[in-house]
Amino acid sequence: MTGQQTKQRRKLKIGMSSLLVLCILIGATVAVYFWQIRLQKPEEINMAEHMHHAGSAAHAAHSQSSAQSVSCETLTAEDDDAPVREFEMTAAQTPIKLDNGEEVKAWTFNGLSPGPEIRVTEGERVVVKLRNKDIDAGVTIHWHGVVVPCSQDGVAGVTQDAVKPGEEFTYTFIASSPGSYWYHSHQMSSIQAEKGLLGSFIVEPKEAEYTAAQDVAVLMQKLGSTWILNGKTGGLAIPGNPGDTVRLRLTNTTDDTQKMVVEGAPYRIIALDGHAIHQPGILESTGFKIGAGQRFDLLIELPEQGKAVVRSEQNDHFNISLGQGAEPIRVASERQFSLTDYGAPLANDPIAEISFDQSFELKLGQNLFVNTINGQSFHEIPPILVKEGEEIRITVTNEGGGDHPFHIHGHRFRVLSKNGEPLKGSPVYLDTILTQDDESYELYLIADNPGLWMAHCHNLQHASMGMSMMLNYEGVTTPYRVGTKSGNLPDL
């Protein structure tokens, strides 16, 4: 080898080494930036008063109403003679041995993940005493989809302080609306929900519209890195006899949209997010997508021969068999359920007479590692500011960055249109709307529950990366603070 070749080889090695170092530095910079964005939270902020971006009109309105201000912590369930149902929940670090032999270092309610199913009757007063045994960052309980008073919403730094080890907090509210709901911690929610702090909350009606031999709530869950159904890794088997009707309350607690199919039997979707569908039709060879945080109530009549199966097309762990005998042949769905034309419209629907008091546009997107609403993130996003009694139109548009199931606390809303086309079937009331790329939904909300309410993507990773904002009522204040100083971090 000549001296010139040796020099060239040395230069090549130096060049390759420099390139490797540069790649490592770039990778490290990107990683650090990612984690800085994830962990970058305000030192302290009052989520009732972050009005500096909302404009002078909002400032003026807020100032005018401040003389009649009321604190969120004073907004509680009215005293009455409702029958009381009491529950105790202890949050703790608990190793769980799953049915596949795997041991998971979980965070649990009462030693379980999912936590105990809470099932009550419409009109009952629910009293839940939460204790924290040893979750250092603190915990809360948010009642997802349940319309509760502001003080009971369970959002750390907005409606209460996170409950620290050795402390307790008692939630009290009236179960006023029957349906399928769930609960989870709203302190560091993306972390604590995946660690296992969640469970099912069912409100049964005083008078049932449908009769079923079985009424089963099923939680699709990711516990750490393990996919489970009601705590089981190998799918779920629900026994039953031919001809039995099963009501399946399906909740997606994961961050991923699940594409579901029903095989072996026709079915109806009788409720979405706990709210009944008017005259739901029979569905066959029809799949449906259930977004993060959403609930679908299915009514399935078991076949005379063999089983019915409800399963996720992309996740074999989410497989529910119903009945007995052989399982049906796996088939791809020929059609997809659409909420735009399912069920029947109301004969005298008052929706045409609505005159909106305010309208808001929310554009959900992504900027590098940050998830945004109208180009901004978390506390930099101006709140939706309303007055009690107003009728509000909110247009939610997905401009990219994946599926964004948008959830509004403390309210239900009606879906008016998709991509500019009015709904033609049953009225659809939700608390979480699944939006996919380039989809736009027009929502109708009545401001009938004064308080301070989070509104965020229920892919909790997206919420932790900034896709979280507030819907605030004028004149409502809070003594609590979000930020690193208080340790209240609702969407980390």
Least confident of 129-138, 249-258, 326-335, 355-364: 326-335
Please give the average per-residue pLDDT across 61-78, as a whole number.
75
Please give the average per-residue pLDDT across 187-200, as a whole number.
98
Q: Are residues 87 and 189 in the same domain?
A: yes
Rounded to 5 degrees, what are φ and ψ at 12? Answer: -65, -40
Q: Are residues 91 and 147 in the same domain?
A: yes
- What does the block give as tokens for 54? 């909302």
What are the pLDDT digits (tens) for 96-124?
Answer: 999 999 999 999 999 999 999 999 999 99
Please give the average per-residue pLDDT across 6-25, as a whole number.
62
Q: Is residue 4 part of a domain?
A: no
Per-residue pLDDT for 13 more than 80? no
Q: Are residues 247 and 324 in the same domain?
A: yes
Look at residue 369 in the predicted model and tell me its pLDDT: 80
Q: Is residue 428 part of a domain?
A: yes
Q: Is residue 37 part of a domain?
A: no
Q: Which residue matches tokens 């040893």?
A: 134
With H, G, I as helix, E, B as strand and everything else as coil, classify residue 376: strand
> Final residue of a domain: which of 276, 303, 336?
336
Q: Are residues 96 and 170 in the same domain?
A: yes
Q: Are residues 300 and 357 in the same domain?
A: no
Please give the average per-residue pLDDT across 411-427, as a whole number.
97
Residue 440 and residue 397 in contact, taking contact as beta carbons nearer than 8 Å: yes
User: In 3D, which of 156, 152, 125 has the Cα closest to residue 138?
Assistant: 156
Structure confidence at residue 78 as a pLDDT band (50, 70, 90): confident
Look at residue 80 in the predicted model and tell me its pLDDT: 82
User: In 3D, which of 357, 465, 362, 351 has the Cα closest to residue 407?
Assistant: 362
Q: 409: which DSSP letter?
A: T
> Final residue of a domain: which of 152, 171, 204?
204
Q: Are residues 90 and 159 in the same domain?
A: yes
Q: Would the pTM of this model clear 0.95, i.e. be above it?
A: no
Structure confidence at residue 64 as a pLDDT band (50, 70, 90): very low
Average pLDDT, the chain: 91
State the CB neighbour count (10 A cutoff) for residue 332: 8
Q: Are residues 255 and 326 in the same domain?
A: yes
Look at residue 353 in the predicted model and tell me its pLDDT: 85
- Residue 376's identity, in one-letter code, is Q
Q: What is the CATH number of the domain that holds 234?
A: 2.60.40.420
Using only C-alpha atoms, what is the Rg of the chain?
A: 24
Angle of CA points 350, 181, 141, to nearest 5°: 125
Residues 6+ apart with CB under 8 A from 485: 43, 44
Q: Is residue 51 part of a domain?
A: no
Q: For 320-364, give the DSSP string.
A: EEEESSPPPPP---SEE--TTS-S---TT-GGGG---SEEEEEEE
Give how many domains the chain has, as a whole number.
3
Q: Which of the pair, 278 or 27, is modelled with greater confidence?
A: 278
Q: Are residues 351 and 449 in the same domain?
A: yes
Q: Which helix (H) or strand (E) holds 415?
A: strand 413-418
Look at residue 4 in the predicted model and tell me its pLDDT: 62
Q: Is residue 20 part of a domain?
A: no
Q: Is residue 469 part of a domain?
A: yes
Kindly tell me the sign of the dihedral angle through the C-alpha atoms of 10, 13, 15, 18.
negative
Per-residue pLDDT for 433 more than 50? yes
User: Is residue 464 left, alpha or beta, with left meaning phi > 0 and alpha meaning psi from -120 to 50?
Assistant: alpha
Q: Is residue 293 part of a domain?
A: yes
Q: Is residue 403 part of a domain?
A: yes
Q: Are residues 231 and 187 in the same domain?
A: no
Q: For 70-136, give the DSSP string.
A: EEGGG--PPP----EEEEEEEEEEEEEE-TTS-EEEEEEETTBSS---EEEETTPEEEEEEEESS-T
Q: Are residues 112 and 189 in the same domain?
A: yes
Residue 127 and residue 387 in contact, taking contact as beta carbons nearer than 8 Å: no
Q: Which helix (H) or strand (E) holds 299?
A: strand 295-301
Rounded to 5 degrees, what are φ and ψ at 382? Answer: -60, 135
User: Is residue 332 left, alpha or beta, with left meaning phi > 0 and alpha meaning psi from -120 to 50?
Assistant: beta
Q: Are residues 378 and 262 in the same domain?
A: no
Q: Are residues 161 and 245 in the same domain?
A: no
Residue 89 and residue 154 in contact, taking contact as beta carbons nearer than 8 Å: no
Question: 291-319: b or e for each residue (b if 16 or more CB lie within 10 Å)?
Answer: bbbbbbbbbbbbbeebbbbbbbeebebbb
Look at residue 56 in the predicted model and tell me its pLDDT: 37
Look at residue 219 in the predicted model and tell me its pLDDT: 98
Look at residue 29 in the predicted model and tell me its pLDDT: 45
Could you tell me which residues are beta bridge partners of residue 200? 182
Q: What range does the domain containing 431 cover?
A: 56-73+347-477
> Final residue of a domain: which of 294, 314, 336?
336
- What does the block give as tokens for 195? 């660690």
Per-residue pLDDT for 241 more than 70? yes
- Residue 84's identity, in one-letter code, is V
